[in-house]
């Protein structure tokens, strides 16, 4: 798997000492009956408080206030602002959804360096205000470490609702960390705090978000190039043992000529989840249907066969 060379990586000039930097251990997919992506086993749940919008649109950076394992993997992209005095300013809504809302955030240094970057802040709703379709399908093959959390989830108590929201946020965090390190074209995960996930903003420097693939009208040459990239995404996920679980042209962004995959909380282990192969097949059918509708004849079953061979 090869990361797109246009994506920024590499050492960060003026960054803090290594001892103060993230020490993230990213789980890998395994075929031992458990999912390699398993926030239910790796996340130490506590009563979660929803992260509210910054007061008056501004707040101090949250980067250094989270645990090391809740900061993104190294090497950090050069655009990540590390100034402890940086200020986050909310600039508006990028996307609203049934499970989470995504906001545009600017993080600007106050140390005189002039560093500033745009990020996407994804905030998951609590269980009273969300509707994650068929969520039980996606969590098969996963578990919950603490018996208290298991009981709270079953009772749907206030604590259980907090756990339900936090587990989806952390599931996406782990998926983004693992796929970024594996070289897939995903937004870089900056940090996670409670139910807020900060990640790379995919768009232009003036805050215009990259369009969904479904909204684009690429010419024949670019269409073929996009299909090749989508096949690479499916196969690279399969190499990790995973299926996206909800892949469609609506959660693929077209940034210039680069396809970027988003919305990863429902990633499933193709082996550990009994419905893993079915979800992988659905991913292939969904994306192939869109390309066919644009006049490019592609073979969903051929892609599915290649993905299954890699995953198993």
Whether residues 145 and 232 share a domain: the answer is no
Q: How many domains is the chain partitioned into structurally?
A: 2
Whether residues 55 and 99 share a domain: the answer is yes
Q: Does residue 109 fall inside a structural domain? A: yes
Its domain, for residue 53, covers 27-200
Give the pLDDT of residue 55.
Answer: 65
Q: What does pLDDT average to over the chain?
A: 80
Q: Does residue 11 fall inside a structural domain? A: no
Give the pLDDT of residue 36.
Answer: 44
Whether residues 57 and 109 share a domain: the answer is yes
Whether residues 186 and 263 share a domain: the answer is no
Give the pLDDT of residue 167.
Answer: 82
Which of residues 168, 200, 232 is at a domain's end? 200
Eight-class DSSP state of 72: P
Question: How does pLDDT run across 155-173, given as a tens digit for each residue?
Answer: 544 444 444 546 889 999 9
Give the pLDDT of residue 112.
Answer: 96
Whether residues 194 and 55 share a domain: the answer is yes
Tokens standing for residue 150? 């298991």
Q: Does residue 5 fall inside a structural domain? A: no
Q: Residue 156 — left, alpha, or beta (φ > 0 → left; ψ -120 to 50 → alpha)?
A: left
Give the pLDDT of residue 119.
Answer: 98
Whether residues 42 and 184 share a domain: the answer is yes
Q: Name residues of the chain where pLDDT drops below 50.
A: 1-50, 129-134, 139, 141-146, 148-154, 156-163, 165
CA distances from 144 to 8, 167, 230 (A): 35, 10, 32
């Amino acid at each position: 798997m090869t990361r797109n060379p246009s994506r920024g990586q590499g050492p960060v000039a003026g960054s803090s000492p290594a001892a103060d930097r993230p020490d993230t251990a990213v789980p890998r997919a395994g075929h031992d009956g458990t999912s390699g992506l398993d926030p239910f086993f790796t996340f130490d749940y506590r009563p979660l408080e929803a992260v509210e919008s910054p007061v008056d649109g501004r707040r101090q950076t949250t980067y250094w206030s989270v645990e090391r394992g809740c900061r993104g993997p190294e090497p950090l992209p050069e655009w990540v602002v590390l100034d402890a005095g940086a200020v986050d300013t909310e600039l508006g809504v990028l996307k609203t959804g049934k499970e989470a809302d995504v906001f545009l955030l600017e993080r600007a240094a106050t140390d005189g360096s002039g560093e500033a970057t745009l990020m996407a802040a994804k905030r998951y709703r609590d269980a009273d205000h969300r509707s994650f379709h068929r969520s039980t399908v996606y969590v098969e093959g996963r578990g919950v470490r603490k018996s208290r959390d298991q009981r709270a989830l079953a009772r749907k108590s206030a604590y259980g609702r907090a756990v339900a929201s936090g587990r989806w946020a952390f599931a996406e965090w782990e998926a983004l960390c693992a796929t970024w390190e594996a070289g897939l074209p995903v937004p870089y995960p900056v940090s996670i705090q409670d139910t807020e996930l900060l990640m790379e903003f995919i768009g232009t420097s003036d805050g215009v978000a990259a369009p969904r693939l479904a909204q684009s009208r690429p010419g024949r040459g670019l269409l073929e190039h996009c299909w090749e990239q989508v096949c690479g995404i499916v196969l690279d996920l399969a190499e990790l043992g995973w299926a996206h679980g909800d892949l469609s042209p609506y959660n693929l962004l077209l940034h210039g000529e680069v396809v970027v995959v988003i919305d990863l909380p429902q990633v499933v282990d193709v082996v550990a989840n009994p419905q893993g192969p079915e979800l992988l097949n659905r991913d292939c059918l969904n994306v192939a249907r869109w390309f066919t509708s644009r006049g490019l004849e592609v073979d969903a079953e051929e892609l599915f066969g290649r993905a299954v061979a890699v995953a198993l």
